[in-house]
């Protein structure tokens, strides 16, 4: 026989779990609906009343995107498009997004980690105000940087290339990454490095074998931020890139809108393929945010 206190605790826990499940479902509903729509045949997408679970499961939308053979394009009668279809470029856009995201993240993390280590371990004039100026640069809306960066890319002859996007995204992600790494480096005890130096390790060995493992949670957090910003950005990709071959996913999927006709099946499939990689990456890395604390101090 349960006591009143146990019943109250069980009811409280049940209410908490139901509330969490409800909020999670509401937050994830757009992705669930996109996944459901992408798996429906064209005739079922506009069925009334709409259904969350497809009556007929089909992968033709994903096949059209991954193979470039678009089976249908308009929501009305079948009409062959006069030019190349967006589905023919989807895999190219996906690769471009991966290259740009990986490149900008790598550059931001390398520079911000080295800068944060310098700011927290060496003494020189102005080192106490640099992180705050860096954070101030992140607070400025990115649209302000578009025009001067575009003129810079024109002078460097990098327009309509992936390098222009990489450098553009670095200008957005680097300030915050450097501030985050600076705040994290400050929390690493300097006594650990001093002990390694006394044992005969060089400054490079201390940085590689002690500081980097200890700073792993901060590096992963900054990497996740840089990847999300670079992967989801639309503004720089719209301004810097003109050719279809060099577009990224965020800009390319807008081409699925053709006048008053929208191929919702292809659009939802493209949205799912855009969202799932980052979601999987975040779920795979989030455990390191906690597990990495103190790892360098133990292993070093």
- In whole angstroms, give the CA distance from residue 264 to residue 164: 31
In percent, how much of the chain has pLDDT > 90?
Answer: 13
Predicted pLDDT of residue 110? 94
Predicted pLDDT of residue 298? 44
Residue 64 DSSP class: H
Residue 207 DSSP class: I
Q: Within a 13 Å sphere around the CA of 94, how many CA atoms are in the beta-carbon half?
A: 20
Fold of domain 86-299 = MetI-like fold (1.10.3720)
**Which residue would you say has higher pLDDT here, 219 or 5?**
219
Q: What are the CA-CA distances from residue 62 to residues 28, 248, 270 (Å)?
A: 21, 18, 8
pLDDT band at 122 (very low <50, low <70, confident <90, very high): confident
Residue 111 has pLDDT above 50, yes or no: yes
- For the chain, what are the domain ranges? 4-67, 86-299
For helices 90-121 and 60-67, give the axis angle rounded to 10 degrees.
70
pTM, to two decimals: 0.81
**Contact between residue 196 and residue 300 where contact means Cβ atoms under 8 Å apart:** yes
What is the residue whose two structure tokens read 């929390």?
187
* Backbone φ, ψ for residue 261 (5° rounding): -110, 130
Predicted pLDDT of residue 82? 53
Q: What are the CA-CA distances from residue 129 to residues 112, 126, 135, 179 (Å)?
A: 15, 6, 10, 11
pLDDT band at 12 (very low <50, low <70, confident <90, very high): confident
pLDDT in tens, 74-85: 444 444 445 567
Predicted pLDDT of residue 22? 93
- In whole angstroms, give the CA distance from residue 170 to residue 137: 12
């Amino acid at each position: 026989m349960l006591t009143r206190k146990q019943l109250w605790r069980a009811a409280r826990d049940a209410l908490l779990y139901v509330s969490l499940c409800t909020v999670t479902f509401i937050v994830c509903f757009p992705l669930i609906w996109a996944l459901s729509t992408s798996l429906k045949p064209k005739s079922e997408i506009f069925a009334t009343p709409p259904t969350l679970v497809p009556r007929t499961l089909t992968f033709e939308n994903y096949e059209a995107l991954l193979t470039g053979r678009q089976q249908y394009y308009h929501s009305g009668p079948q009409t062959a498009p006069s030019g190349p279809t967006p589905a023919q470029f989807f895999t190219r856009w996906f690769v471009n997004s991966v290259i740009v995201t990986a490149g900008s993240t790598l550059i931001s993390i390398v520079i911000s980690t080295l800068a944060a280590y310098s700011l927290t371990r060496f003494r020189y004039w102005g080192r106490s105000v640099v992180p705050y100026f860096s954070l101030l640069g992140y607070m400025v809306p990115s649209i302000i940087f578009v025009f001067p960066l575009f003129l810079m890319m024109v002078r460097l002859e990098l327009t309509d290339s992936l390098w222009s996007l990489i450098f553009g995204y670095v200008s957005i992600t680097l300030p915050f990454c450097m501030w985050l790494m600076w705040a994290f480096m400050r929390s690493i005890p300097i006594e650990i490095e001093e002990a390694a130096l006394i044992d005969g390790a060089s400054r490079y060995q201390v940085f590689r074998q002690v500081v980097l493992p200890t700073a792993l949670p901060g590096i992963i957090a900054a990497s996740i931020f840089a990847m999300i910003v670079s992967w989801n950005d639309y503004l720089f990709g719209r301004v810097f890139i003109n050719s279809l071959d060099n577009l990224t996913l965020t800009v390319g999927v807008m081409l699925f809108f053709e006048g008053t006709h929208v191929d919702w099946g292809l659009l939802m499939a493209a949205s799912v393929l855009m969202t799932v990689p980052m979601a999987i990456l975040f779920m795979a890395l989030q455990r390191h945010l906690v597990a990495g604390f103190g790892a360098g101090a133990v292993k070093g």
